[in-house]
């Protein structure tokens, strides 16, 4: 059986050729080895190298674990002092195989010399509560987006606390799409970062809904007052442009995709301004 790819696939994932993809051995090093390994995650120790996926779970009042009441992350690190980068995935991702390729994690670790940690954003990957990861972020119940982003920043703060306990040379954050939104928001709320890179970020969910919603959905949204001043005021509490940036200007980086039809360039322009 022969397998092939397209030039478009390589462009989307920023690859020069299929040789840039991680090998099966590298994937085995980075991913949990088996369901049994996931059931007993390895606690970060002093032996360095690839670490198992960690999961911190909370219980509800009935003692039952809920899918999103957990924080999942995978990391690849060494004992030697290195800078760290926290990679925040985009909407619908949070799947190790996709995130490893999308962020070129092996390249960042082996060639650029970074320790890489990739948390799963709320309502994505193993934390999803709908068939499509992240679907609850974009719905008529806009408070889902507010709660989801607040949850994401809380996760980032917890993760940063752990990373700083590893005596890093420096710590940065790189997010794409929804991860770019979280990165930009964290730059104003968290601090404690040496650099931030927001890729094709979304910064205004209401403007995103307005630009993408079909006509019949727009009519329904207007009927229920979704696009009101009150809604805008509520969403402002998790809008990156609401808060002054706590990262020095020469350590902030931003890029947009001219042809991106989801996180359109005007979103990145709003953040840049």
pLDDT tens digits, 146-186: 888 888 999 999 999 999 988 899 999 999 988 998 999 89
- Return the pLDDT at 85: 93
Reported as a single tens digit per residue, the pLDDT across 230-267 is 877 888 888 888 888 888 888 889 888 887 777 777 77
Q: In the structure, what pLDDT confidence band is assigned to residue 88 with cuts at 50, 70 and 90?
A: very high
The CA radius of gyration of the chain, in Å to the nearest whole number, is: 19
Q: How far apart are CA 149 and CA 160, in angstroms?
A: 16
> What is the reported pLDDT for 67?
56
Q: What percent of the chain has pLDDT over 90?
A: 12
Residue 60 has pLDDT above 70, yes or no: no
Rounded Cα distance between 217 and 235, Å, is: 19
Contact between residue 103 and residue 97 where contact means Cβ atoms under 8 Å apart: no
CA dihedral 111→18→10→184, nearest 10 degrees, is -30
Across all residues in the chain, what is the average pLDDT?
A: 75
Taking Cα atoms as reference points, which of 188, 218, 182, 221 lies closest to residue 203? 182
Q: How many angstroms separate the CA atoms of 102 and 104, rounded?
A: 6
Query: Coil, strand, or helix at residue 74?
Result: strand
pTM (predicted TM-score): 0.70
Exposure pattern of 134-161 as b/e (b: 16+ CB <10 Å)? bbbbbeeebebbbbbbebbbebbeebbe
Encode burial over 254-271: b for 16+ CB neighbours within 10 A, e otherwise. bebeeeeebbbeebbebb
Q: Give the tens place of pLDDT for each residue, 97-151.
A: 788 888 888 888 888 999 999 999 888 888 877 777 777 777 667 778 888 888 8
**Quick one: pLDDT band at residue 48, thresholds 50, 70, 90?**
very low
């Amino acid at each position: 059986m022969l397998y092939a790819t397209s030039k478009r696939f390589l462009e989307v994932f920023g690859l020069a050729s299929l040789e840039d993809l991680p090998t099966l051995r590298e994937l085995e090093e980075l991913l949990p080895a088996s369901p049994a390994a996931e059931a007993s995650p390895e606690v970060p120790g002093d032996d360095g190298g690839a670490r198992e996926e960690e999961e911190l779970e909370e219980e509800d009042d009935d003692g039952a674990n809920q899918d999103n009441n957990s924080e999942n992350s995978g990391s690849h690190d060494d004992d030697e002092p290195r800078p760290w980068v926290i990679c925040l995935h985009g909407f619908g991702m949070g799947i190790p195989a996709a995130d490893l390729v999308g962020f070129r994690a092996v390249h960042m670790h082996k060639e650029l010399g970074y320790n890489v940690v990739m948390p799963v954003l709320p309502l994505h990957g193993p934390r999803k509560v709908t068939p499509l990861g992240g679907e609850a972020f974009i719905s008529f119940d806009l408070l889902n987006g507010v709660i989801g982003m607040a949850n994401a920043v809380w996760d980032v703060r917890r993760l940063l606390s752990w990373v700083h306990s590893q005596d890093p040379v420096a710590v940065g954050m790189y997010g794409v799409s929804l991860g770019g939104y979280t990165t930009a928001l964290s730059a104003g709320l968290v601090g404690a970062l040496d650099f931030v890179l927001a890729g094709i970020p979304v910064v205004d969910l209401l403007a995103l809904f307005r630009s993408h919603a079909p006509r019949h959905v727009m009519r329904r949204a207007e009927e229920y007052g979704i696009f009101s001043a009150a809604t805008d005021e509520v969403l402002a509490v998790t809008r990156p442009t609401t808060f002054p940036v706590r990262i020095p200007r020469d350590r902030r980086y931003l890029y947009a995709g001219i042809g991106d039809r989801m996180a359109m360039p005007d979103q990145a322009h709003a953040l840049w301004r």
